[in-house]
Chains A and B, each alone.
Chain A
Amino acid sequence: MGRYILLRHREIPDLHRLEVYVRHGGYEAWRKALTAMTPDQVIEEVKASGLRGRGGAGFPTGMKWSFVPKDVFPKYVVVNADESEPGTFKDREIMEGNPHQLIEGALLTAYAIQAERVYIYVRGEYRSVARRLEAAIAEAYAAGFIGRNVLGTSYSVEMFVHLGAGAYICGEETALLESLEGKIGHPRVRPPFPATYGLYGKPTVVNNVETLANVPPIILHGAAWYRTMGTEKSPGPKIFCLSGRVRRPGNYEAELGKITFRDLIFGEEYGQGLLEEGRTVKAILPAGASAPMLPASALDTPLDYESVQAAGSMLGSASIIVLDDTVDIVWAAYKMVRFFQHESCGKCTPCREGTYWLRRVYERIVAGRGRPKDPELLESIARQMAGKTLCPLGDFATSPVLSSLKHFRKEYEAYLRRAVETPAEVPA
């Protein structure tokens, strides 16, 4: 077995072509499940593997599948390919380079819950990526891996790509389902959860692209093999998206918990250090804009769900954005708040209004017109948002605010001191 479990196209040229994928063991897991395993055995194997959702929440995948009722039909599998978190570009690489592993994983999921149809919801900006995926799906249909009576069995399944149209919120699974139903992407009240009331009100499993790419190797080689990688509570491989002020940004696959932020940023086979000589790390964003930023003292934290949480943040989608000492933290927090204000869907008042007011306060601070009490004002707005919305976006939006104030309050104070000493021209 090669160096990669997920990014196998890095060492196998043309892996996006079905013939190449099959030559390297592709669709063997699918054949194995269909001919030698019951749906429940597939669920049990994934449960035993300890695979956790790679979209951000880290929820155990097999457990998610087991919540689906057995006696309600039809059922659906929806692949969340609405990759939109700032700093995240891993699902894109899987779909471009190794699309059949995603397709095979989605088929195994469909069989496990006995779904008749799979929709892959791809963000609208990934139109070119979706076309490659559609070409791969067409190949899989032609080869008899998808369609009626797959591989001569009694099982039939269909698969379609559905393009979103530009809305971060649709990465939230219930907003995604609303969008797939042709509506605006407003999150639903939960419970009920998609497992019982999902697409068109039917039992539905929604899984992230990377999560599903883990499934074929688990079924083919077994849960015990999978658990030899990663840690007890965070087993398996993970793709780390590295971006920001590093020399070699990109996707890096490594076992969970086996490397640290420092390894990822400075390691020879990873980021190879900071963009410019002589600079130091000021802060790390472990999960794009959505999880609290960490100061450089967290550099030696191992990259697994538990360790990053213990350090005061979340691994989430593992989209690591590096801020070096050239970066103005207040400006960076403003950029992230601006993102959430733009992407708030407007359904819940605390998020819609809160992100708007956070942005307004940040705009005046970075324009040199901040007021001495603005840090307290930001904290007060954030407190009125956190935990008061239907989906996590409202909480996410408070992360850059509260974490930057916690670790880098001095930078805010410097802005506000300058605003007092040299008041900026205030437009009428």
Chain B
Amino acid sequence: MLREKYKQEIEAILARYPVKRSAVLPLLYLVQREYGYCTEEGIREVAEITGVSPTEVREVVGFYTLFYDHPIGRHRIQICDDLPCALRGADDLVAHATRRLGIRPGETTPDGRFTLETVMCIGACHRAPAMQVDLEFVENVTPEVFDRVVEELSRDGA
């Protein structure tokens, strides 16, 4: 139960807003940290804490791209293939990533380690092509840089 494990953190989140519902997004991030994705159990807890119906919380999960209603890999690789990055080789990078990981965008490696996604502009167009790995920026990504990132995250314990 989130409310027991993260009591103080949840109280600190709720204290930031005059209306509990505003805590829905921050609490869903907490759910994803705890369970890996927005589980039904987590959604119900967020609904109870904020006084919003579970349906409305599910609607929020469905609307925002950074929330997942299904299990994903332990590491999320999100390559921007929007216009500014695509003008500097993003489509080739996506092709390289697909070959290197053996999965297509939207898929997760069989060992559950990586989920590969293509995403819209992430605000790194001056260091294109760019990607985010677990929401940290990796910029000026060459195939070598990509392989190095994957190797580092493939070590035991990563």
Contact = CB atoms under 8 A, between A and B. Distances in A.
A321 B121 CA distance: 13
Given A181-B19, A289-B83, A86 B60 contact: no
A251 interface: yes
B146 interface: no
A339 B88 CA distance: 17
B143 interface: no
A87 B65 contact: no
Interface in A175-197: 179-185
A315 B50 CA distance: 41
A193 to B, nearest CB: 20
A165 interface: yes
B135 A89 contact: no
Given A85-B121, A128-B136, A162-B25, A244 B84 contact: yes
A111 B91 CA distance: 47
Interface residues of B, number: 41
Given A128-B135, A183-B21, A86 B66 contact: no
B87 interface: yes
A332 interface: yes
B82 A339 contact: yes
Interface stretch (A1-9, A119-127, A296-304, A381-389): A119-127
A390 B44 CA distance: 32
B128 interface: yes
A180 B19 CA distance: 10
B7 interface: no
B95 interface: no
A86 B84 contact: yes
A104 interface: no
A125 B122 contact: yes
Contacts, number: 135
Interface residues of A, number: 54
A200 B18 CA distance: 9
A182 B21 contact: yes
B66 to A, nearest CB: 4
B78 to A, nearest CB: 8
A127 B137 CA distance: 10
A241 interface: yes
Q: Which of B26, B29, B63, B64 has the most CB of A within 10 A?
A: B63
Nearest to B28: A165
Given A87-B125, A89-B126, A243-B125, A339 B120 contact: yes
Interface string B44-64: 000000101000100110011
A249 interface: yes
Nearest to B59: A184
B28 A168 contact: no
Contacts of B84: 86-87, 243-244, 321
Given A184-B60, A185-B63, 20 more contacts: A87-B125, A88-B123, A125-B122, A126-B123, A128-B135, A160-B16, A165-B28, A165-B67, A167-B63, A167-B64, A180-B22, A185-B64, A244-B84, A244-B87, A249-B125, A249-B128, A321-B125, A335-B86, A339-B82, A343-B120
29 contacts: A86-B82, A87-B83, A87-B84, A88-B121, A88-B123, A89-B123, A124-B66, A127-B135, A163-B29, A165-B28, A165-B65, A168-B120, A182-B21, A182-B50, A185-B63, A241-B125, A241-B126, A243-B87, A243-B126, A249-B125, A251-B126, A285-B83, A323-B87, A332-B87, A335-B82, A335-B86, A336-B83, A339-B83, A342-B120
Interface of B: 16, 18-19, 21-26, 28-29, 50, 52, 56, 59-60, 63-67, 82-84, 86-88, 119-128, 132, 135-137
